[in-house]
Amino acid sequence: MRTCLKCGAIRAGDNTATIAGNYLEVTVAAAPANPGVGLARVYAISSTSTRMRDSAGTETDLAAGGGGVTKFTSSQQIITSGGLLTLAHGLGAVPFGIQASLECTTNESPWVVGESQTILIGGPALAANRGAHSQNPDATNVYIRYSSDAQVFDAFNKTTGAGMGLTNTSWRLVIRAWV
């Protein structure tokens, strides 16, 4: 790996990463042993977008679902103790990535309406029986099983760091999945 101090590029073989204005441009070249295999691609990454440009000059916005990335985002889901969510994702394959977030719909100090927090499904909980303890996707649906605790989720108070159980009716769950 070499770094060009004049142009700001980081180079490993024929692959480079260069600061270009507000973007980090990463160029992935075809394998030298197989020059006809693997087209060069440029990935332009900024705080607002990720774009890919192939060797023919065709540009795709990866954040808009291009470049082979297909995404699903659920609507806000009601949180019901002991309940099972079955969310049809329409991706046509088993998602390899799933993300969950809680969105505040009724003020619960110090959280206010409109704030959200990313959570771990099946992750550790402050109380023994809290959390959406399981997720199992298939090629058609994402299944989420809520715990049977009266307060399904807990969080750390964003002001004090103290653990707190969240009121089910003050929050909604949103699931994102992609292939």
Q: What is the pLDDT along the chain (179 residues), one digit of tens a residue?
A: 444 444 444 445 555 555 555 555 666 555 555 444 444 455 555 555 566 666 666 666 655 544 556 899 999 999 999 999 999 999 989 988 899 999 999 999 899 999 999 988 776 666 656 665 678 899 999 999 988 888 988 888 889 989 888 999 999 999 999 88
- Evaluate if pTM is beyond 0.75: no
φ/ψ of 55, rounded to 5, equals -65, -20
Q: What is the DSSP pairing of strand 171-178 with strand 71-73? A: antiparallel
In whole angstroms, what is the distance from residue 108 CA to residue 139 CA? 36
